[in-house]
Structure 1
Amino acid sequence: MTNTAVVAHAADDLRIEDVGEPIAAADQAIVEVAYGGVCGSDLHYWRHGAAGASILREPMVLGHELSGTVVASAADGSGPAVGTRVAVHPLTARGDGETPYPEDRPNLAPASTYLGSAMHLPHTQGGFADRVALPTRMLHPLPPGLGLRRAALAEPAAVAWHAVERAGDVTGRRVAVIGSGPIGLLAASVARHHGAAEVVTTDLHPRPREIAEQLGARTIDARETDAIAALHVDVVIESSGTVPGLAAAVSAARRGGTVVLVGLQRAGDVPAPVATAITRELTLTGSFRFGAEFAEVIAALADGSLAVDPVVTHTFAAAEALEAFTAAGEASVSAKVLLAFAGAGAEEQA
Structure 2
Amino acid sequence: MWAQRLSGPFTFQQVEVEAPRADRLAAGQVLLATRAGGICGSDLPFFKGAPFLHAADPAGRTTPAPGFPLHEVVGEVVASRHPEHSPGDLVVGWASAFDGIAELVVTDGEGLAGYDTTMPPTTAVMLQPLACVLYAAEQVGDVRGRTVAVIGQGPIGLLFSHVLKQRGAGRVVGVDRVDRSDAAGVFGVDETVTASANLWSATVADADRPELVVEAVGHQVTTLQDCVDGVAFGGQVLYFGIPDDLVYPVDMMTFVRKNLTLRAGVTLERRRVLRDAGSYLADHPALREVYVSDVHPVGRAQEAFAAAVQPAVGQYKVALDAT
TM-score exceeds 0.5? yes
Post-superposition Cα deviations, 1:48-78, rounded to whole Å, max 9, x if no partner, equal 14244668713412221011223x343x583
Pick closer, same or farther for the CA change 1:263–1:133 going to 2, 3 Å. closer
Specify which of 6, 15, 30 is matched with residue 17 of structure 1: 15
- Which residue identity does 1:192 align to in structure 2? K
Q: 2:75 aligns to what SS in structure 1? A: strand
| Long gaps (5+) in structure 1 | 91-113, 117-125, 343-350
1:74-223 equivalences in 2 (<5 Å):
74=80, 78-90=83-95, 114-116=96-98, 126-143=99-116, 145-206=118-179, 208-217=180-189, 218-223=191-196
Q: Does 1:31 align with 2:32?
A: yes
Post-superposition Cα deviations, 1:307-336, rounded to whole Å, max 9, x if no partner, equal 364332211000111100100100235332
User: What TM-score, normalized to structure 1?
Assistant: 0.77
Q: 1:338 aligns to what SS in structure 2? A: strand
What's the offset of the Cα at 1:338?
A: 0.3
Pick closer, same or farther for the CA change 1:39–1:22 going to 2, 3 Å. same
Pick closer, same or farther for the CA change 1:296–1:41 going to 2, 3 Å. same
What's the offset of the Cα at 1:194?
A: 1.9
CA RMSD across the alignment: 2.7
Q: 2:265 maps to which residue?
A: 287
Pick closer, same or farther for the CA change 1:150–1:255 going to 2, 3 Å. same
Q: Is the 8 A contact 2:36 2:73 kept in 1?
A: yes
Q: Does 1:69 align with 2:50?
A: no
What's the offset of the Cα at 1:167?
A: 1.3
Q: Does 1:247 align with 2:253?
A: no
| Long gaps (5+) in structure 2 | none
What is the percentage of aligned positions where both structures have the same residue? 28
* Alpha-carbon distance between aligned partners in 2 of 1:278 and 1:322, rounded to the nearest angstrom: 45
Give aligned pairs, total: 305
Specify which of 185, 204, 208 is matched with residue 228 of structure 1: 204
Pick closer, same or farther for the CA change 1:49–1:248 going to 2, 3 Å. closer
Q: Does 1:46 align with 2:28?
A: no
Specify which of 313, 316, 321 is matched with residue 335 of structure 1: 316
* Alpha-carbon distance between aligned partners in 2 of 1:243 and 1:325, rounded to the nearest angstrom: 23
What's the offset of the Cα at 1:237?
A: 0.6
Worse-superposed segment, 264-273 or 153-162: 264-273
* Alpha-carbon distance between aligned partners in 1 of 2:153 and 2:172, rounded to the nearest angstrom: 12
What's the offset of the Cα at 1:29?
A: 4.2
1:288-303 equivalences in 2 (<5 Å):
288-292=266-270, 293-303=273-283
* Alpha-carbon distance between aligned partners in 2 of 1:13 and 1:278, rounded to the nearest angstrom: 45
* Alpha-carbon distance between aligned partners in 1 of 2:312 and 2:222, rounded to the nearest angstrom: 18
User: What TM-score, normalized to structure 2?
Assistant: 0.83
What's the offset of the Cα at 1:305?
A: 6.5
Q: 1:275 maps to which residue?
A: 253
Q: 2:85 aligns to what SS in structure 1? A: coil
What's the offset of the Cα at 1:306?
A: 8.5
Post-superposition Cα deviations, 1:246-269, rounded to whole Å, max 9, x if no partner, equal 233123322211111111334244
